[in-house]
Structure formats: C-alpha cells, structure tokens
Amino acid sequence: MSHPQNAAEFLKNQAKAKWHDETLWFVRDKRDRISKTIPEWENLRNLASQIKDNVLANLGSYLEQFEQNAIKNGIHVHWAKDGDEHNRIVLDILQKHHCTAIVKSKSILTEECHLNPFLEKNGVEVVDTDLGERIVQLLHQPPSHIVLPAIHLKKREISELFHEKLQTEKGNEDPTYLTHAARLHLREKFLGAKVALTGVNFGIAETGEFVVCTNEGNADMGVHLADVHVACMGIEKILPRRKDLGIFLRLLARSATGQPVTNYNSHFRSPAPGKELHIVLVDNGRTAQLAREKFKNSLKCIRCGACMNTCPIYRRSGGYSYGSTVPGPIGSILSPGLDMKKHSTLPFASTLCGSCSDVCPVKINIHEQLYEWRQEITKTHGELGKGLSMWIAAGIFKSPLAYKISGGLMRKALKVLPDSLIYHPINAWGKSRDLPEAPKESFQQWYQKNRS
Amino acid sequence: MSSRENILSAIQGIALESKPLPEIPDFGIPGEVEATFVQSIQGNKGEVMDKAEFESWLAAEKHSKIISRSASFPDASNLYLPADAHELNDLDLAILDGQFGVAENGAIWLEDAELGLRVLPFITEHLVIVLDRNSLVATMHQGYARIGDASSGFGVFIAGPSKTADIEQSLVVGAHGAKSLRVVLV
C-alpha cells in the first residue's frame, strides 16, 4: 500500500489522529524549550555533524580500530553483510548456549533485520522489554515511532490488552498501575533469561567500548542478569573518541524527548567476570548508501526521532503509514536506498517545509534529500500518474488562446458541474481538499475593466 | 571473502572526500554548579539531601534489605553482596558512592569499582548515590575529561530513577529499575 492510502486509513479515526498530532507536537515543543537553555546548542549541532562527517569519511579505519580494541577488551566481534547473516549469527550464539528465551531492549536494527520472527521460527521466545515495545509486541505490531513505539495507542487499548495478557483489573486505565503491572511481568523475564540482546547507540573506535541509553533501565536489567550479552550495531554508529560522547549525549535526549539526558547511559567495555559479550557489526545496505554521494549523509542519523515529532505529515499520518522500519522524514530517505520500488511513495510524503532538517541534531539535509529521491524515483518509475495532466497543462500554458478558452470554460464549468464530477478520482488534488471558488472573470478581463 | 573483508573492501572502494575531526571546546554553563546540579536531579524526579537529612530518612524508613558500598555509610548494610546477582531481586536499598556528578543534566558516573555487581543500581527498589559536592562538574565535556582513559569494564551515567512515558506520554517513575533516586551531597 502507498503512503497516501495508509494515511487515509489512519485519518479515519479523527479524534485519535488529532491526539497523535498534538502529542507529538508537544514533544517537539519540549525539545525546543530545552535546546534554548543551551547557549552553545547550534555549536553542538555543528560539531556533531562534523564528527559524523569525519566518521563517514574514515569509516573503514574506524571500524578496524574499534574491532581491534573490542577484541583486546574481551568482546567477541562478528560482521554481518545483511540482515539474514545478522540473524544467523545471533541464532548461532543462542544455540551454542542452549538458549530458547531471550530478553531484548530497543534496537531499530533488529527490527530492520526482522530478527524477532526469525528467532521465533527457530524456537526462541523473544521478549521485548522496553514498555512501549512490549505493548506493541503483545499486539503483534511493529513500533510506530523509533523512540515512542506505542504512541499510536490510547491507554484504553493498553488497559484492554493488559487485562487480557497480564490479568490487570478490567477498565483500570491508570498509566502508573499499568506500568507497574508490566514491571512485575518483565521482572520475571529478566530473572529467567540466560542471554540478553541490546542495540547500540554509539561505538567508540578509540576504546572499543559501546554505549546504550535507556530511561527505563531495561537494557541493564537484561544484560547484567544474563550470562551472555549480544549487542547489535549498525556500522555507522561509530564515534572516533570517547570524548565525542560529550557532544552526542548532550544532543540525543534533548532532541528526542526534551529531557537533559537519558537516565541510564551504560558504557560497556569488557564482559563481567565469567560472562560473555558479543557485538555484531551490520552492513545491510549501509555501504551501498555510503556510495550514494547525494544520500550518504543520511547515515549520520543517531535515531532521536526529532524529525518525526516535527513533521506535519508524520504527525497526521502515523508511523504505520510509511510501511518501513524507520518511519518519518529520516525513514523516507533511508528506506528508498534499501528498496526503491517498495518505498517509492515515501519521499513524496513531505511538504518539503524543511522543519526536519532544522531540528536534526547532526544537521542532515533531510528535506533536500527527499527532493533528490523524488528525482531518482521519477527517473526510474515514471511520472506516477501525473504525466498526462502535466502534458495537457504544458500545451495549454504554451498557447495564449488555449489558455484563454480553457480558463473561461473552467470558470463556467466549476459553477454548474455537480461535485461528483469535479471530485472525481482522476482529480487527485481534489481529494481531501476543496477547490477554490471560481472567480467571475479572468485577471485579464478584470484589468481591462479597472486599469486600462 | 568473509563478510568482514566484504564490508571493509566495499568501503575502501568508495571515493570519500577527507573531512577533519574537530576539536571540542570546553563549554561552561552559566550559574552555580551545585545549584544547577540540584535543579537537574529534581527535574529528573530525583531528590537531593545532605548527610543529616539522609540519616534521619534512613532511620525512619526501616528498609529490611540494604547493601551499602559507600565509604560514608559503611554500617548501613545488613546484607553482603551475593555471589549470584539474581539474589538481589528483593533488595530494598542500595547505597553507592558516585565518582562525580554533572550539573547540566544530573548525570552521576559510577564504575565497576563502585558497583560491585553491575546490576546493583538497577535491580534495587530504591537507590542512594553519595557524592562529594566538590566532585561536581559543569558539563558532559568536563565529565568525559574527568573519566579520561580510565579502563573500567563497565561505567554508567545515572541521572534519575527508572522512568517511562510509553502509555499516552504520561510520566511514570519506576519502570524496571530503581523506583527512586536520592543523591546525598557530602
């Protein structure tokens, strides 16, 4: 399904769509307010952007340095060229440890690789432990936002779900009550898991350590109780130096949710005594994106979600309307690189207003890349149904006489034709929009009457 | 060719313009460091107290299972650190020393040496971190300068109690980790 079709589906529930829009705008507003308390905010964005530029320019050598140091620290390093290989590597580790149940904290990468269904098919129970992710997992849905996975759901729906799955009181919609019920449910899972899986926010080449940020503490609860920690990391997550974290930790949470820092920022350098630590470095289309000069900057993304919260389209169409692992503006420039045909409508799901680029903590030129992808897609897939009307319009605009005649005809026709004919499926512009009231005369006629 | 070589050679095959790695200036924050730190912790839903306030709180609360690894409160423990971290599941209170605190966001740095068991500050029902008020720094940049090239196997910045807003953006404290954070400035 295309983005417009999915968005129309989302907009059917108008009250919920309005709530979604306002709630994300509230998060955007929190980001604005906290960023303005930091006088050097724009300077931090510039530095973050420059550091990431340097990372992309030297990605190969930083990856080798990271690997070398990580191995020295006692970490097992694996490389995966695509999602399938990543999934097999994770399964191999689990099978080596005879593990059939894991706990997992948030990792967009594993969503991208479709790890959960793969593991489940191979007899492994996967429990997502971030509250929002657990909620959507129990509903058999993917996250609809990379930072706020269950933002498309209302507390009534979550209350009903928890009543069914966790035996909470029927009708109790209190978020504190529901969260504490999930705490008890997931505590058991943490205590029982032999292997815990996490994503990675930043990998440090200089030290071979990596950093995982959460507010709930779920990543740490999982990995410190388990015998084995598997961390899955996209190859673009590298930072050169430990001190670069100072820049990125200042930007990440403020951009994401408007809080000054995530509550838990864990730096993993080597396994605890008697335990095992694995890291899987994953390409899955990243080197291909790096080779696209116009689009390689999309790899600077630190997955804060600020571009989603600000986007007038995302807020009014919901995460699922994009049909891609990473939705919103950044997803719309990443996803066509993975499958241009499947995601051909995404770069058009934008007003090109540029708000996404304005809030991006690493200064990715998101709206310019959206525009560039439109060119690429039109070149490859044709005019997307607008070819005929553009060809007619070109003919009319070329001839003054044709312009005059058709203008007069339209002014009359719009007044007398029934709506069913004007708002015909062929008139894509008229979908969800009213045509302007037709003026009585053309500008030329008006000018001759009043000014000549 | 292994996937490692595959990925590295793919990157090598791309003509990439060189980009310099910028130096990071030492940004200060305006205002007084301790007052800013206290404000940050409170904003993160934590509490700041002095030694006397903490002692009377501790006496009043009567927690049944306490582990203290703080040099300031060596006698507060009534449990030893177990060999198996799972035994900490019903721990009421952990009292730990922090290395330093960051004023701009309330983040407090702890390493393996302070933690004993890495899960301790997460699994405990309530967490107390004891901090020398002279150890406060203004920004994360100064924080990382303090960490320098220390090589602890694990280190963590903790800035507040465990929290979530995943249900309709309503803030709830006590998601999976500690339900409260008290910082004792000594």
Is the pLDDT assigned to residue A442 strictly greater than 70? yes
ipTM of the modeled complex: 0.97
Q: Is residue A308 part of a domain?
A: no
Q: Domain ends where: A265, A284, A303?
A: A284
pLDDT value at residue A383? 61
> Where among A235, A256, A284 does a domain terminate?
A284
Determine the average pLDDT of the residues in A155-171: 97
CB pairs under 8 A between A and B: 239
Instruction: Please report whether residue A1 resides in a domain.
Output: no
Tens-place pLDDT, residues B93-146: 999 999 999 999 999 999 999 999 999 999 999 999 999 999 999 999 999 999
In a domain? residue A357: no
pLDDT of A384 over the 70 cut: no
Closest partner CB to B175 (pick from A183, A224, A266): A183
| Number of domain units in chain A | 2
The answer, as to whether pTM is greater than 0.90, is yes
Domain membership flag for residue A386: no
Tell if the CB–CB gap between B168 and A257 is shorter than 8 Å: no
For residue A414, the number of C-alpha atoms closer than 13 Å in the C-beta half-sphere is 14
DSSP string, A33-55: HHHTT-TTHHHHHHHHHHHHHHH
- What pLDDT band is residue A387 in, cutting at 50, 70 and 90? confident
Q: What share of chain A is helix, strand, coil (3-state, %, to 5)?
A: 55, 10, 35
Average pLDDT of A203-231?
98
In B, minimum Cα distance to A251 occurs at B140
Amino acid B141: pLDDT: 96
Residue A321: pLDDT band by 50, 70, 90 thresholds? very high
Backbone angles phi, psi at A421, to 5 degrees: -85, -40
**Residue A204: which residues within 8 A CB-CB, separation 6 or more?**
A66, A210, A211, A238, A239, A240, A241, A242, A244, A245
Burial degree of A44 (CB within 10 A; 0-12, 13-18, 19+) = buried
Band the pLDDT of A422: cuts 50, 70, 90: confident
pLDDT at A434 over 90: no
Mark which of A284, A303, A321 sits at the end of a domain: A284
Question: Per the CB < 8 Å rule, is B27 touching A235?
Answer: no
Per the prediction, chain A carries an average pLDDT of 94
CATH number at residue A92: 3.40.50.10420
Question: In angstroms, rounded to a whole number, what is the distance separating the alpha carbons of residues A15 and B150?
Answer: 53
For residue B174, which residues of chain A lie inside 8 Å, CB to CB? 179-180, 183
pLDDT bracket for residue A430 (50, 70, 90): confident
CA distance A238 to A257: 23
Within 8 A of B40 by CB-CB distance, chain A residues are 260
Nearest CA in chain B to A292: B14
Residue B6 to residue B4: CA distance in whole angstroms: 5
Which of B163, B72, B179 shows the shortest CA–CA distance to B123?
A: B179
| A chain contacts of residue B167, beta-carbon cutoff 8 Å | 131, 135, 150, 155, 158, 175, 178-179
Tell me what pLDDT residue A172 has: 97
For residue A41, pLDDT over 90 is answered with yes
How large is the average pLDDT for residues A263-276? Answer: 97
Residues in chain B: 186
Task: Categorize the per-residue pLDDT at A411 as very low, low, confident or very high, splitting at 50, 70 and 90.
Answer: confident
A interface mutation test: which of B11, B24, B87, B114 has the most A CBs within 10 A? B11
What b-and-e string marks burial along A391-429, b requiring 16 or more CB atoms within 10 Å of the CB?
eeeeeeeeeeeeeeebbeeeeeeeeeeeeeeebeeeeee
Q: Where are the domains of chain B?
A: 31-185
Question: CA-CA distance, A156 to A135, in Å (whole number)?
Answer: 12
**Does one domain contain both A270 and A125?**
yes
Position A85 in a domain: yes
CB contact under 8 A, A264 and B14: no
- Which residue(s) pair with A234 in the sheet? A282
Residue A438 is which amino acid? A
Which site among B149, B156, B167, B173 would you substitute to test the A interface, given the most A Cβ atoms closer than 10 Å to its Cβ? B167
Low-confidence ranges of chain B (pLDDT < 70): 29-30
Whole-angstrom distance, CA of residue A312 vs CA of residue A314: 6
A 10 A CB-CB count for B50 gives: 11
> What's the pLDDT score for residue A385?
64
Record: contact B85-A225, CB cut-off 8 A? yes
Strand, coil or helix: B179? coil
Contact (CB<8Å) B107/A132:
no
Which of A166, A183, A263 is the best mutation test for B, with the most CBs of B within 10 A?
A: A263
Q: Do B21 and A243 touch (CB under 8 A)?
A: no
Residue range B31-185 in CATH 3.40.50.10420? yes
pLDDT bin (cut points 50, 70, 90) of residue A414 is confident
pLDDT, greater one: A392 or A229? A229
User: How does pLDDT run across A292-305, given as a tens digit for each residue?
Assistant: 999 999 999 999 99
Tell me: pLDDT of A246 over 70.
yes
Residue range(s) defining the domain that contains residue A414: 395-450
* CB-CB contact of A247 with A47 (8 Å): yes
